Amino acid sequence: MTTRHPADMLWSYYRFFKPDSDSNYNYQPTWDENSKMDFEHWIQFGSVGMDPAWQELAPSWISTDNLSPLSLEAHAFDRAGNNHINRLFRLENTEQLNRWLSRQMDDRRFPALAEAIQTRSLKAFSRARKNQKQLPHVNQSEGAEKTEKDKKPLVLSENSLRAIRKMFPMESKMYNI
């Protein structure tokens, strides 16, 4: 499973779904595009829904009254606190994830990657990468229409950091928040 820095993930979610002052999102019929919620206010007081069947399985502290349904715990742990993932990778560290995925794949299907891993030589890996098509960047939350006021705050307030630590405890430890 991959995870992402919670502040970056929240910023991306916020920019894409554009919560209004009542935590309605742009895909909901009740969304009011004229009453946009401030990012930090959303972190501290916003909420997201969760499928009731999934919520029944999630840890009891996960709540649709805040943003905790977006947390790793909401998707990796059950109500009894059992962790159901055996590997966790930071999205920011693609090299580690690529190495692990490559080891899981059949060497005959990906010989250049297998060779790179076995010899710890990135030359073979580089040859394979040069022959691959580049995937297009489609993260619409960081679109070209971004204005100065749309930019992510460089520093979050202590109240926002406290809220993130409460709603995203595992990620907060991983990223030293």
Q: Which of 35-49, 77-91, 113-127 has the highest mean predicted lDDT (pLDDT)?
A: 35-49
List Cα–Cα distances, 80 to 57, 83, 146, 163, in angstroms. 9, 9, 43, 23
Hey, which of 106-120, 121-135, 140-154 has the most confident mean pLDDT?
106-120
User: Is the overall model pTM greater than 0.75, yes or no?
Assistant: no
Cα radius of gyration (the chain): 20
**With the CA atoms of 22, 151, 43 and 10 taken in that order, what torsion angle do they form, in degrees rounded to the nearest 10?**
100
Distance separating alpha carbons of residues 164 and 177, to the nearest angstrom: 8
Q: Is the pLDDT of residue 123 over 70?
A: no
| Average pLDDT of the residues in 99-108 | 71
Per-residue confidence (pLDDT) for residue 143, from 0 to 100: 45
Distance CA 35, CA 147 (A): 17
User: Given CA atoms 53, 141, 98, 113 in this order, what sign does their dihedral have?
Assistant: positive
| Averaged pLDDT, 141-146 | 47
Mean pLDDT, all residues of the chain: 82
Rounded Cα–Cα distance for residues 93 and 80 (Å): 30
Q: What's the average model confidence in pLDDT over 86-96?
A: 84
- The CA distance from 72 to 10, in Å, is 13
pLDDT digits 0-9 by tens, 17-70:
999 999 999 999 999 999 999 999 999 999 999 999 989 999 999 999 999 999
